Copies of this chain bind each other. A is one copy, B any other.
Amino acid sequence: MSLLTVGSIAFDRIETPFGKTEKIVGGAGTYIALAASLYNNNQTVISIVGEDFPEKMLNEFRNRKINLDGLQIIKGEKTFFWSGKYSKDMNSRQTLVTELNVLEHFNPIVPENYQGIDYLMLGNLSPEVQFKVIEQLKIRPKLIAMDTMNFWMDVSLDQLKKTISMVDLIIINDEEARQLSNEYSLISAAKTIRKMGPKFVIIKKGEHGALLFYEENIFHAPALPLEQVFDPTGAGDTFAGGFMGYISSTDNISFENMKSAIIHGSALASYCVEDFGIKRLQKITKKDLENRICQFVELTKFNVIDSVK
C-alpha cells in the first residue's frame, strides 16, 4: 500500500564525542523515507529543498522507488540547514546553527497523483504545514501518523492541538508527552493525549525503548542495549519510518501488528545510531534487519507459563 511522507529534507552538520561531519544530508523526511523504503516500494514524499541539494541524493530516493513529484526544488534558494553538538554522554544536544532557508515559507502542495494514498506519515514540521497536507487529501488515508516536538508546544500550541485532533497516531518522546499533557506519569500522559484525538499513542523513551498505548492496552518495546552510540541524529525519525514502512507494507493497523512494527522501527533505529547521519541506514540489508529482529526476540523472551500455578 502507498505511503506518503511529509518531512524536512535538509543539510546537517553534526558533532559528537566521536568526531564531526561536514554538511551531510539529513532531515526527518530523509530518515523516514529511507527507513520505510526497506519495506515499501510505493512511497511518495512532500518536502522542499534548495537548488544546492545534491542530485545524487534525489537519485537515491528515486532508486528506492520514492516518488518525488511533491518535492519542491526552489531555484536560487538554499536547503534547510541545522548544526548541533552532542554532550559527552549523548543525552543532550545543543543547536549551534539553524538556517530555515526554503523551509521558512514552505507551502506543501499535494500533487493530484498523490490523492488516494493509503498511509500518511507527518514528520516533525510546523503543525500548520502538517494540517495543510491533511486538508488537501480528498480521501482519508487508512492511518495518519504524526511526529512533533516541544518547540511547537511552546510557540504554536493551538494549531498543534488542532492538527493532533486530526490524526490516528502520534509518535513523540517522553519529555514531549509530558509537556503536551501536563502529566508526569506516562500512562496518564497517554490517556490525556488520546483524549485530544489520536487512538494510538507511541511514547519513545530513547535508550529505554518505547511504549504503545491503545484503549486499555499497553505494549513495551525495549531498545537494544548498545555499547556505543555513535550519533543519535535521526534515530527517532528512523524509528517512525521503519514503523510506517512496516505498517503500510503489511496493510494492517491492528494493535498486534503495531507491536511488530515497533520492533522493526526499533531495530532500524539501533542501526541508525551506529554511524553519522544516514550513513548506516543507507547500507542496511534485509539480512541485517533479520539479525537484529532476532536479537530483539532474544532480549525480551521469557517463559513464566510454568511458573504460575
Interface of A toward B, CB cutoff 8 Å: 89, 184-188, 205, 208-209, 211, 217-222, 225-228, 246, 250, 256, 259-260, 262-264, 286, 289-290, 293-294, 296-304, 307-309
Contact = CB atoms under 8 A, between A and B. Distances in A.
Contacts of A187: 225-227
8 contacts: A89-B184, A205-B208, A209-B220, A219-B302, A220-B299, A256-B303, A290-B308, A300-B302
A304 B308 contact: no
Q: How many copies does the complex hold?
A: 2
Contacts of A304: 260, 263-264, 293, 296-297
A260 to B, nearest CB: 5
A40 to B, nearest CB: 13
Nearest to A91: B184
Contact of A303 (B89, B220, B260): B260
Contacts of A186: 225
Closest CB pairs A-B (n = 9):
A208-B208, A259-B302, A220-B222, A187-B227, A290-B308, A220-B299, A260-B307, A260-B304, A293-B308
Contacts of A260: 302-304, 307
Given A89-B184, A264-B307, 12 more contacts: A188-B227, A208-B209, A209-B220, A209-B222, A220-B222, A220-B299, A246-B307, A262-B302, A289-B308, A293-B304, A296-B304, A300-B300
A50 B301 CA distance: 45
A24 B222 CA distance: 36
A223 to B, nearest CB: 9
A209 B187 CA distance: 15
